[in-house]
Each structure stands twice: as C-alpha cells, then as structure tokens.
Amino acid sequence: MQPVTESNGYVAQFTLGEGDLRFAVKDTLDIAGFPTRAGCPALAANPVAATHADVVATLLGKNCVLTGKTTLHELAFGVTGINPWGGTPVNPQFPDLIPGGSSSGSAAVVASGEVDFALGTDTGGSVRMPAACCGILGLKPTYGQLSREGVMPAQSSLDCVGIFARRAEVLREVLARLGLPVDAPLQTMPAIGFIPAALVDIDSLLLNFLAQADLRPHQVELPLLGDAHRAGLTIISHENWQAFNPLLSDERLSADVATRIRVGADIDAGALHAAETIRQVFTAQVDAQLAKTPLLALATLPELPPTLEEAKDPLTVVNLTRLVRPFNLSGHPALTLPAGTLNGRPVALQLVAAKGQEGLLVQAAEWLSGRRRR
C-alpha cells in the first residue's frame, strides 16, 4: 500500500513551444511564469520565475515542446522519490516499488510514455537512480557540460542537469540540440572494465547481460569507491546546509529532509578538506583506469530497488547511492540503462566514460540496445 498520495509525475501541466520532441522538466529548473518549488511546502509561496533555465530555453529554441514541471523528492534531497506534499509518482513498470529520487516525476513521465524525454538533476545519483528504478535510461553529463543557470540550488560543485529517455537514439538527439553532437554509431565497443561492487546476483546478471552482447569486460577495481561515496555525502551535506538552512525554521519541512540538512551544520573545515582530498585522488584514479579501458561498467544500484513500504523511512536507503554518487564527486559522465530483472525488480547497468565523453556513453547504449533487439 502506497503510504502517500499518488501523482502522475507532474506538478503542473501545460504546453510551451512547438516541435517534434515532447519533454518535461523537474521542478528545480526555472520555467518563466511558474514558481520553482522543488517539491517543498516551505517554498509554496515562491514567486514565478522571470526566465527559463538556460537548458530549457535552448530546447524550446530547438524544436522541442515542454509539457510541464515534474515532482521530486523534497528539495531534491532524497533517494526514494516519496513526497507527501507533492505526491509520489507511480513507478509505471513496477508500481509497488519506489520511483527513485530525487528526479522521480521526470523518470515516471518518461517511463509511462507521456513524453519523449525529461530533464532532471543529479547531485548524488538523482537521475541515474530513478532511471534504474523505472527501467529507463538516465544520463548524467560531465560536471559543467550543461548550464545550471536557473537551476536550484544556484551553487553546487556536484550537481548536473541530466536527461531521461526510453531510447538511446533520443538521448543522441537531445544532446545534439543542446550543442553536444554525438559521433556516428559504434561498429565495435571499446574495452570495458567491470567493477564488481553490488550484490553477487546483480553483478552476475550484469556480466551475463554483457556476455549476451559478446562482451567480456576486464575485472577492475576503484579502491576509493566507498570513500568517494562518503566524501560526496559530506560535500552535499555542506552545500545543502548553505543553500537551505533558512528553511529549517519552517515546520512544513519534511522531517527526513530537515534531518539531512541539519547534518551539514556539523561539517567543519577539516572534514571538507578531507572530502576534497578524496575527490582529487579518486578523480585521478578514475582517469587512470579510463586511460586503460575507455568504459567502466558497474551496477547502478548495489541492491534491488525497495518497495514503497520498505522505504517508508527515506534515511534508511541513502546508501543505495553508493555506486552512483562517486561519479558526481569526480565529475565524470555516467549513464544507466536497464539490463533485466531479478525477483521481479529492475537491474540496471551503469557506464562511466572520460570527462567530455557523454557521446561515447550514448553510442555504447545504442550498441547494447541494438544487440538486445536482435
């Protein structure tokens, strides 16, 4: 039984622009004439935005039609997508499971087929996690590759605007319209390094998925993967404390989100310095491995997505981001794509490439999707 009101994924539906691709936008991106509320009742009285976020304006100018704003985990600071105020989007393919957060509504409207693609934001896996939960593709570009002008919070050293789609070919088209054209489809896949970091059954399914595409990846390690996850948590806690601590005086703020914001108050200069050191060393480690294998592959989620009932306390499932958050810390582009099911729940493969190589990720997703359709 779903513990909160259901949502179709939208907080506002409308039509802006004319074109051949329909898209929706997470309610952390400004749309002129609409307030940006980030799924938070404490921001219910926010004034309407004067201008579109840069990425939205670009897409509207490139033959895309905007259909509305989508709901999310409050303040984009949670991984379940459960939102008692704005409503929790139904996971279209797996309705008993969480839609994933924080960009839950954007994932849901893509998975349901209502739009061709959607925009979300990804600070610690918030595009890749809901994409994995809903059985679709989710792309987090290289940090800084897409403009964050007009995106909440205004300052972040981790956050990226990301893209959801059901087909890799749509990701290709969206990137092109955003000024990031993708090269011609791959004839052969480059070398892949596989990182076994999830439950054994999940890793086995992923290796079998790759084997069915005649791929035999090298097994590799990123020794600082766990440290990078924890460093990412430290930095997001500090940056979200800076951005949102004034909202703590508002009793409408959800308890789980308020708890996570308060954690940031206790992060001192020493903890930040340690986290930034891990960022530097881990980034170099990833770069070094990508110089040997141009693609890294690992599970998107270390465990199967939980049910809505299992995720009633959002704080208990934060560690589901431990395989996605490290690449927010390092800034590398990463893409998730569905790879099958296990015990009736979705399993997703995450691919990581060198900075500036989101096009290679899309090419790889196209190549893998083509092998699955044969």
Terminal Cα distance for the chain, rounded:
38
Residue 3 confidence (pLDDT):
45
Tell me the CATH class for 6-189+299-373: alpha beta
**Domain ranges in the chain?**
6-189+299-373
Compute the radius of gyration of the chain from its Cα atoms.
19
Residue 92 confidence (pLDDT):
98
223-235 pLDDT tens trace: 999 999 999 999 9
Contact 7, 87 (CB under 8 A): yes
Residue 247 has pLDDT above 80, yes or no: yes
pTM: 0.97
Average pLDDT value for residue range 240-262 = 96
Mean pLDDT of the chain: 96
Tell me whether the omega of the peptide bond preceding residue 153 falls within 30 degrees of 0, making it cis: yes
Contact 150, 51 (CB under 8 A): yes
Residue 343 confidence (pLDDT):
97
204-225 pLDDT tens trace: 999 999 999 999 999 999 999 9
101: region left, alpha or beta (phi > 0 left; psi from -120 to 50 alpha): beta
The DSSP letter of residue 323 is: T
353-373 pLDDT tens trace: 999 999 999 999 999 998 876
